[in-house]
Structure 1
Amino acid sequence: MIANSVNTNAGAMIALQNLNQTNSELQQTQGRINTGKKIGTAKDNGAIWAIAENQSAIANSLNAVRDSLQRGQSTIDVGLAAGDTVVDLLNKMKEKALAAADTSITTASRTTLAADFASLRDQITKAVSNAKFSGANIIDGSVTSMSFLSNDSGDPFTVSARNLSLAGLNISASATFASASEASGMISIVTTALSDATDKLASLGTNSAGLDAHLTFVGKLQDSLDAGVGNLVDADLAKESARLTALQTKQQLGTQALSIANQAPQSVLSLFG
């Protein structure tokens, strides 16, 4: 290497290289602080970026799964609420039929009880037909099952429907009584329907609990995926802040070193003084 040259300043070149490296590292650190990510593009780390993007895609697709499961949850909840009403109406129907089976009451009283019985019967139909959520009804007998999304692959979570309509409970749409003996026969029909309704509601409730548990799981899975992606790409801002301070100091020193190196050729002038 030429020790004293006005054409080549090796010291200045080295100082400039070091300063450029420091500036590059400083720019990278500032970018991490601005975005909050240590890996923001494939250029930063292609393999890790690809993994993070794939996991983020799964986590985002689970939003659709949660929406579907929540829709199913609401559909079943509406059905269960209507089912409770049906059970209450059946209990009242049994009470009316039992009262009408008493041979000591008058025909007029029995007629009034029969009218009340028919009104309660019709209310069951109204309750069941109105048990809809977003157009879906799980207790009117229109479907045998309903399927909702269970994962990001589109696999179904299937819930069996339960028919709580009059037909589903084996009660005639015109069921009534006109005599004590007919009222006694209706007691047996309503009692059987009541048992059937409670069994169907219990089964529907079990399905609802399973759907609720799966919805909770999907929420936890989504949180875990988000946390995992964060571990892969998020920057440690405390660490980056300390590094920023160090690089800014290094940048100032590099600038001074380059200035000193640029002054070296001037010392040659002293040889010609």
Structure 2
Amino acid sequence: MFRALVLFGQFFTRFSIPIQINDPLVKFKKSVQYITLFGALLGLLEGVAFGGLSYLFPSAFSWMLIIIADGVITGGFHLDAWADTADAIFSSRTVDRMREIMKDSRLGTMGVLALVYYYAIAIGVGPLLEKHLDRLTMAGVVIVFVMMSKIAISLLLFHMHYAGSTGGLAEMWQGVKVWQIIVAQVFAIVVIVLLTHLAGLIAYFAVCLVAIPYRHKFVKLFGGLTGDTLGAFTCFTQLTFLLVYTGLVVLGWS
């Protein structure tokens, strides 16, 4: 388990972890059951940072700083995929051209807008949460928000077909066992219930529901999922969770 967490840290963050992992692609596939645990630990780090900042600044401002810091810690790993996918999908081009756009390192108009919308929503819920939640509960929401990206990955790995070329990343995404995904999701549900209670659980199930049409859309379009569409779903999942959870909190479900 330790080496799995190290591998995830090397893959998903900018942290320099000088531990060599042999056959990392194979190790990744065999360690998916721990991916939400890694997300929770990373979230705990950011949650503690939020708690410290909230003693210096208002909770809403501290929330904004953590959302920004999360992008720095991860190196914008999923945000890049989010922008590339937006550029491709809203280009109104052929499927082959969409694939080329996703591989293009340049950022287009729709990619920029997608990033603006992501941060507008993610930061914008801060004042609403501050109005209805105490500091400790908001720190819990930070943990779940960060973990949600790893929940998204494990959800889409269920019987996943990789639309890219064989070999390489295909070895990492395909062939994940169902029991691994179940373990990852059960752990995530426990954390969500403990930290965000019923409102968080409902928001989690909303995420599970949107995963179905999302997956269907790209399987129909590309014949499977790519690394970019998988990464984009993590951002989509985080926003879905925040919108549903915040809405329920405002309605008094906290």
What TM-score, normalized to structure 1?
Answer: 0.27
Whose relative contact order is higher, 1 or 2, with alpha carbons under 8 Å and at least 6 apart?
1
Higher share of residues assigned helix: 2
What TM-score, normalized to structure 2?
Answer: 0.28
